[in-house]
């Protein structure tokens, strides 16, 4: 309708455009579909162990890193870009009446910061990664502040995080996953 009135004014058929003040309705926002629990469990199992790696083999170390990253993504709902942008100092542990509580400080879109609690599974996976795996990966690089490191000791990139997620989804046999704005795999459509 607005286009018709604009055309009529441009062609000289009308003097004014009565639709110029009309604001079109915005389309309804759809909520993302939740990933079924069985697929989440398969993804986490395919990522690697929560406990200490079976050996010092590079593949076992990377599997534990992958598991820690997936636990953080799943446990916090963070985007891949937010998770790989974390520094070691962004993870803290506090104590409240119920015991130790993990907290993660994310910097999201527009530089906004938010504190997100970290569940026990993600805390355990992250603790194993920080204690056993990250020091080995950091020795390959310059020892920067990044939490999640690539094989050369540098910060894991968003693209590297997505490649990692895609490989885990393939190993888990989760087909039809696609990238979502949060970076986590979505259920098949």
pLDDT at 158: 93
* Total domain count, the chain: 2
In this structure, are 56 and 23 located in the same domain? no
Q: Nearest 5 degrees, angle CA 73-CA 126-CA 56?
A: 120
Is a pLDDT exceeding 50 seen at residue 189? Answer: no
Which runs of E-coded beta strand occur in the chain?
Answer: 91-96, 99-107, 113-118
Is a pLDDT exceeding 60 seen at residue 44? Answer: yes
In this structure, are 39 and 78 located in the same domain? yes
Query: Cα–Cα distances in Å, from 30 out to 27, 77, 171?
Result: 9, 17, 30
Residue 3: domain span:
1-30
In this structure, are 84 and 138 located in the same domain? yes
10 Å Cβ neighbour count for 137? 22
**pTM for this one?**
0.75
Q: Is residue 67 part of a domain?
A: yes
In this structure, are 76 and 10 located in the same domain? no
In this structure, are 70 and 17 located in the same domain? no
Residue 142 or 62, more confident: 62
Bridge partners, residue 93, by sequence: 102
pLDDT at 140: 86
In this structure, are 82 and 7 located in the same domain? no
Which residue, 158, 149, 185, is CA-closest to 66?
149
Give the pLDDT confidence of 119-164 residue by residue, as tens digits: 889 999 999 999 999 999 999 887 789 999 999 999 999 999 999 9
Q: Is residue 113 part of a domain?
A: no
Contact between 83 and 73 under an 8 Å Cβ cutoff? The reply is yes
Give the pLDDT confidence of 80-112 residue by residue, as tens digits: 999 999 999 999 987 777 777 889 999 877 878
């Amino acid at each position: 309708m607005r286009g018709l009135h604009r055309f009529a004014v441009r062609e000289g058929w009308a003097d004014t455009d009565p639709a110029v003040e009309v604001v079109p309705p915005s389309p309804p926002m759809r909520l993302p579909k939740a990933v079924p629990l069985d697929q989440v469990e398969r993804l986490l199992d395919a990522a690697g162990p929560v406990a200490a790696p079976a050996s010092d083999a590079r593949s076992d170390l990377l599997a534990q890193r992958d598991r820690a990253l997936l636990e953080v993504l799943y446990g916090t709902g963070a985007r891949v870009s937010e998770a790989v942008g974390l520094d070691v100092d962004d993870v803290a542990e506090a104590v409240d009446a119920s015991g130790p509580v993990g907290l993660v400080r994310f910097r999201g879109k527009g530089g906004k910061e938010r504190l997100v609690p970290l569940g026990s599974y993600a805390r355990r996976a992250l603790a194993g990664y920080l204690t056993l795996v990250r020091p080995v990966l950091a020795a390959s690089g310059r020892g920067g502040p990044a939490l999640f490191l690539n094989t050369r000791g540098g910060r894991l990139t968003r693209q590297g995080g997505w490649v990692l997620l895609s490989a885990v989804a393939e190993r888990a046999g989760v087909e039809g996953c696609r990238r979502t704005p949060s970076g986590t795999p979505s259920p098949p459509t």
